[in-house]
Chain A
Amino acid sequence: MSRARYKGAVAGSGTFSGAGFAVKLVLIALVDALGVFGVLAAWRAGSWGILAATVALLAAANWVYFTKRSLPLKYILPGLAFLLVYQVYVVGYTGYVAFTNYGDGHNSTKEQAVDALLVQNERRVEGSPALPLTVVESGDGELGFAVVEDGAAEVGTAEEPLEAAPDATLDGGAVTQVPGWTVLDRATVLQRQDEVTTLRVPVSDDAADGSVRTQDARTGYVFQPVLEYDEAADTMTDTATGVVYTPNDEGQFESADGEVLPVGWRVTVGFENFATAFGDDRYAGPFVKILLWTVAFAVLSVVTTFALGMFLAMVFNDPRLRGRKVYRTLMILPYAMPGFLAALLWSGMLNKSFGVINQVLLGGAAIPWLTDPWLAKLSVLGVNLWLGFPYMFLICTGALQSLPGDVYEAARIDGAGKWRTWRSITMPLLLVATAPLLISSFAFNFNNFTLIKMLTGGGPRFDDASVPLGHTDILISMVYNVSGLDGSAPRDYGLASALSIVIFVIVGVISAIAFRQTRKLEELS
């Protein structure tokens, strides 16, 4: 294309006139509308990172589609934006979590952990009565409580301990009027509920007597804090024993003799998660077995599904076969079913005593399809073959139909037999077209969590291991288990992220090597 023509084409599409520009303007307006909405929502939620990212993406979109200098970007930008949001961000966040101790007991920020510890350790004074309570306000706007104890009214605020108010009016056991105070109605109480729930009215001048607080603005109870937080020194003190807890590197309050308070917060812990991942002896044995099985499972799955898919594709590609379209449609059916549902159905059908396979097809045989280590592996591969061959069938059919007819003709003229033609022409050409898909299929099966979880749940268990892992567990289901996401251990998102990064590296390396190998294939064509 000559430079002049190229310029002319761009100018034609880029001028401010014409229907094309109007359409573009409307589309960008829609994008901007969505962006501005996102910015406002992020502003309100205080998510500054999201706000900055949205503004940046929005600015980029406007620049790219209104400038004349970025033709390629016009095509790439949407994909790039989604890549950033759904891939790069997620990978980055996983990487970040891998270096923190996010998990059970370290679920949140320090501020919230302090709040939770204080609220959990404020105890009702034993034997103290339930006090009918009314929220009142003094002339200068200070909130107070008016309570009834043994039929007598008392009023107090955070500063002034409860004092008898003999001239208060009582109705139905609660104070309805106190001279010098305004009784707040329900609506006002609800509006100021934060102040009401945080208000502590001391019972007497002695702090050890405790203070009245309320949770529903109807009844008050005398409470006594067990823990006190000193903001300046950043320490927790147990009021009963006097033990002082200071924050440690693990994100917990720790006393001098090593005792920790239960609620912690999230902190970065460096490479500790990676050390844990490889440091636990109990996992060392099972890990090797599971790694081998994972690789075997992924490779065998790809090989078996590809072999069956290709065989069927070649059979149904033969013009002599009648009703090919009907068969082809039937072949694709397993592919149309959701994988997790199919796996669940299969696990029912393979039940040793009541499954269809044993009961109906095998006349009541008691074959332990899912409970014998080797048969379970075979069942997993078999079900995955059933689930996966239609995909291979589809891509092979497509690839076969696009093979050039002239090479076959040449082969026939050269006197090549059927086997020779298949080995030297069909197979290599097919592999050129499908190799990248086979590699991605390998990566998919390497992490085929749904199938394992739904079909065998990783079982049958290793008899000789001390961890709840089994013969059909693959790495990703092991991660799910080890990091407690299945509930069998305290949840540890940090460890889970660290382990998934390890898996990512393994899959990445294998895929990179495989891609390098396929480049040799491409030289054929």
Chain B
Amino acid sequence: MRRSILLASALATTLALTACGSGEPSGGSTADADASAKPSASGSLTVWVDETREAAVQAAAEAYEAESGVDVEIVQKNFEDIRADFLAQVPTGEGPDVTVGAHDWLGEFTANGVVAPIELGDKAGDFIPVSVEAFTQDGQVYGLPYAIENIALIRNTELAPEAPQTYDDMIAAGKKAGTKFPFLIQSDGDKGDPYTYYPFQTSFGAPVFEQNDDGSYRPELALGGENGEAFATWLGEQGEAGNLSTDISYDIAVEAFAKGQSPFVIGGPWMLEKFQDLDLAVDPIPAPGDQPAQPFVGVQGFYVSAQSKNALLANDFLVNYLSTTEAQTALFEAGGRPPALVEAADKASQDPLVAGFREVGATAVPMPSIPEMGSVWSFWGVTEASIISGKADDPVKAWDKMVSDIEGAIG
């Protein structure tokens, strides 16, 4: 009986091996044959992108394939998944060689040792300074920037022919236009939206973290104190006056503006495709405080994995192929995000709307990429929302509690 089991197992396994035989081993030998016949096909480059950049990166990849004979494999992923997947997969060796990403992931990426620095050399000067700054940490550049995103004031020129100079001007112009809302700014319900509200906050002189001379941040909170409290008081007043509301979500704001229910909306270039029927202008955000209203700048770029087996290919591809005007322009056309390369940005700025966003971006500040920022967001937004909605009776007290809570969370 024992023998019959062995016999049957052997029979089954042989069958199985014969079945695989046509696929597995010969697959390996063809690869070997390829490698010996064409020495240039050594290694392939894996690049993670999301769907809005796939076509543009593909075009650059084809140019690179033609020159070097290397396969570039483009893997499309959801943008939201890339950050966590990159962190989890690079250490296992399963990660990509290059991934697209936002600059504010940098702090987490370096703390976990998953990205390698890249040397832009003299090419660094070809980029808009804030974009390279954003990818710089401790004097090292960790990403090739390709796009700069920031918010600005989008104005419906039919309803408001003049760009407002101050916040009060804007409210007055909005009321004069007789539309349903004097101006629109989005908020994610009771979670708030500190990103979109940030220019108002900076105009009171209360940036989130202290900034070093080279533009990087250090984890010391700067949003408290007198200036922060003045901003909190202003939020409370505006909420009471009905100019700010936490119920206006992104979708509601975009829809209302598209319907002509307000002459102004504070938002980014990603909104524009919904406003194609309107005559628009893009202006600096009017400041309610006495300092300029600086929005956050977000920079998109490409990172190289610290565990890449093809580091040379990856760097070559980024520094010499994705930094060209053609590649950066193609990325702009595919995703609509204003380019980070000066030459490509000049080309894109022929569109007055792009130029408008670029002008606002030039005075903006990079979003902090230090890991401590993660602890700030969740307290920040909720506090702003509760001040605006009037849930917090005393804006100053609520703001001070937020500051001490964040300090507790940062530790």
Residues of A within 8 A of B (CB): 16, 25-26, 28-30, 32-33, 35-37, 40, 62-63, 66-68, 104-105, 107-109, 112-113, 115-117, 119-120, 122-124, 130, 186-191, 193-194, 196-197, 215-219, 221, 262-263, 282, 351-354, 370-371, 457, 459-461, 463, 466-468, 484, 486-491
Q: Do the beta carbons of B374 and A466 come within 8 Å of each other?
A: no
Query: Could you tell me the distance in whole angstroms from the C-beta of B201 to the nearest C-beta in chain A?
Result: 19
B335 close to A (CB within 8 Å):
no
For residue B392, which residues in chain A have a CB less than 8 angstroms away from its CB? 463
Query: How far is A251 from B4 in the complex, measured between Cα atoms in Å?
Result: 54
B241 close to A (CB within 8 Å):
no
Query: Could you tell me the distance in whole angstroms from the C-beta of B114 to the nearest C-beta in chain A?
Result: 7
Q: Do the beta carbons of B20 and A124 come within 8 Å of each other?
A: no
Q: Do the beta carbons of B12 and A32 come within 8 Å of each other?
A: yes
State whether A36 and B13 are in contact (beta carbons under 8 Å apart), knowing that A187-B40, A218-B320 are contacts in the complex. Answer: yes
State whether A124 and B113 are in contact (beta carbons under 8 Å apart), knowing that A191-B42, A218-B316 are contacts in the complex. Answer: no
Closest to B373 in A: A487
Closest to B402 in A: A466
Interface string of B57-92 (1 = CB under 8 A from A): 000000000001110000000000000000100110
For residue A187, which residues in chain B have a CB less than 8 angstroms away from its CB? 39-40, 42, 69
Closest to A281 in B: B408
For residue A370, which residues in chain B have a CB less than 8 angstroms away from its CB? 189-190
For residue B310, which residues in chain A have a CB less than 8 angstroms away from its CB? 193
With A33-B20, A35-B16, A217-B316 known, 16 other A-B pairs at CB within 8 A are A26-B15, A28-B12, A30-B16, A66-B8, A67-B1, A68-B1, A108-B91, A112-B113, A115-B113, A115-B307, A123-B139, A354-B247, A459-B190, A461-B382, A468-B379, A490-B374
For residue B409, which residues in chain A have a CB less than 8 angstroms away from its CB? 466-468, 488-489
Query: How far is A120 from B121 in the complex, measured between Cα atoms in Å?
Result: 16
B175 close to A (CB within 8 Å):
no
Q: CB < 8 Å: which of B12, B87, B91 contacts A62?
A: B12
Q: Do the beta carbons of B245 and A353 come within 8 Å of each other?
A: yes
Query: How far is A25 from B119 in the complex, measured between Cα atoms in Å?
Result: 60
For residue B371, which residues in chain A have a CB less than 8 angstroms away from its CB? 104, 490
State whether A190 and B70 are in contact (beta carbons under 8 Å apart), knowing that A62-B5, A215-B312 are contacts in the complex. Answer: yes
Interface SS of B by simple majority: helix
Query: How far is A196 from B111 in the complex, measured between Cα atoms in Å?
Result: 27
State whether A112 and B307 are in contact (beta carbons under 8 Å apart), knowing that A66-B4, A191-B39 are contacts in the complex. Answer: yes
Interface string of B393-411 (1 = CB under 8 A from A): 0000000010011001100
Query: How far is A112 from B113 in the complex, measured between Cα atoms in Å?
Result: 8
Q: CB < 8 Å: which of B24, B117, B118, B306 contacts A40?
A: B24
Q: Do the beta carbons of A262 and B19 come within 8 Å of each other?
A: no
Contact-residue size bin, chain B (C-beta under 8 Å from the other chain): 35 or more
Q: Do the beta carbons of A120 and B112 come within 8 Å of each other?
A: no
Q: CB < 8 Å: which of B119, B121, B306, B389 contacts A116?
A: B306
Choose among B121, B191, B306 the residue with the greatest number of A CB atoms under 10 Å from its CB: B121
Query: How far is A32 from B20 in the complex, measured between Cα atoms in Å?
Result: 10
Closest to A46 in B: B93
Q: Do the beta carbons of B121 and A484 come within 8 Å of each other?
A: no
Closest to B40 in A: A187
Query: Could you tell me the distance in whole angstroms from the C-beta of A485 to the nearest C-beta in chain B?
Result: 9
B165 close to A (CB within 8 Å):
no
Q: Do the beta carbons of B121 and A221 come within 8 Å of each other?
A: yes
B377 close to A (CB within 8 Å):
yes
Q: Do the beta carbons of B374 and A25 come within 8 Å of each other?
A: no
Q: CB < 8 Å: which of B15, B20, B313, B389 contacts A25?
A: B15
Query: How far is A67 from B3 in the complex, measured between Cα atoms in Å?
Result: 10
B140 close to A (CB within 8 Å):
yes
For residue B245, which residues in chain A have a CB less than 8 angstroms away from its CB? 353
A selection of 12 A-B contacts at a CB cut-off of 8 Å is: A28-B12, A29-B13, A107-B87, A107-B91, A112-B306, A115-B113, A120-B140, A187-B39, A263-B113, A351-B247, A466-B404, A484-B374
Q: CB < 8 Å: which of B1, B112, B320, B391 contacts A104?
A: B112
Q: CB < 8 Å: which of B15, B91, B113, B312 contacts A193?
A: B312
Closest to B13 in A: A32
For residue A353, which residues in chain B have a CB less than 8 angstroms away from its CB? 245, 247
Closest to A263 in B: B113
Query: Could you tell me the distance in whole angstroms from the C-beta of A246 to the nearest C-beta in chain B?
Result: 18
Query: How far is A405 from B274 in the complex, measured between Cα atoms in Å?
Result: 64
Closest to B374 in A: A487
B325 close to A (CB within 8 Å):
no
Choose among A193, A351, A352 the residue with the greatest number of B CB atoms under 10 Å from its CB: A193
Query: How far is A457 from B385 in the complex, measured between Cα atoms in Å?
Result: 15
Query: How far is A354 from B248 in the complex, measured between Cα atoms in Å?
Result: 8
Choose among A262, A370, A486 the residue with the greatest number of B CB atoms under 10 Å from its CB: A262
For residue A105, which residues in chain B have a CB less than 8 angstroms away from its CB? 111-112
- Considering only residues 102-138 of chain B, those with a C-beta below 8 Å from chain A are 108, 110-114, 116-119, 121-122, 138
For residue B70, which residues in chain A have a CB less than 8 angstroms away from its CB? 190
B172 close to A (CB within 8 Å):
no
Query: How far is A197 from B69 in the complex, measured between Cα atoms in Å?
Result: 19
What 3 A-B pairs are tightest by C-beta distance, nearest first? A116-B113, A108-B91, A187-B40
Q: CB < 8 Å: which of A30, A216, A488 contacts B320?
A: A216
Closest to B113 in A: A116
B171 close to A (CB within 8 Å):
no
Query: Could you tell me the distance in whole angstroms from the C-beta of B374 to the nearest C-beta in chain A?
Result: 5
- Considering only residues 1-52 of chain B, those with a C-beta below 8 Å from chain A are 1, 4-5, 8-9, 11-13, 15-17, 19-20, 24, 39-40, 42-43
Q: Do the beta carbons of A37 and B311 come within 8 Å of each other?
A: no
Query: How far is A323 from B118 in the complex, measured between Cα atoms in Å?
Result: 71
B309 close to A (CB within 8 Å):
yes
Q: Do the beta carbons of B312 and A217 come within 8 Å of each other?
A: yes
Query: How far is A86 from B312 in the complex, measured between Cα atoms in Å?
Result: 39
Q: CB < 8 Å: which of B119, B382, B386, B405 contacts A124?
A: B119
For residue B291, which residues in chain A have a CB less than 8 angstroms away from its CB? none
Q: CB < 8 Å: which of A66, A107, A459 contacts B112?
A: A107
Query: How far is A113 from B110 in the complex, measured between Cα atoms in Å?
Result: 10
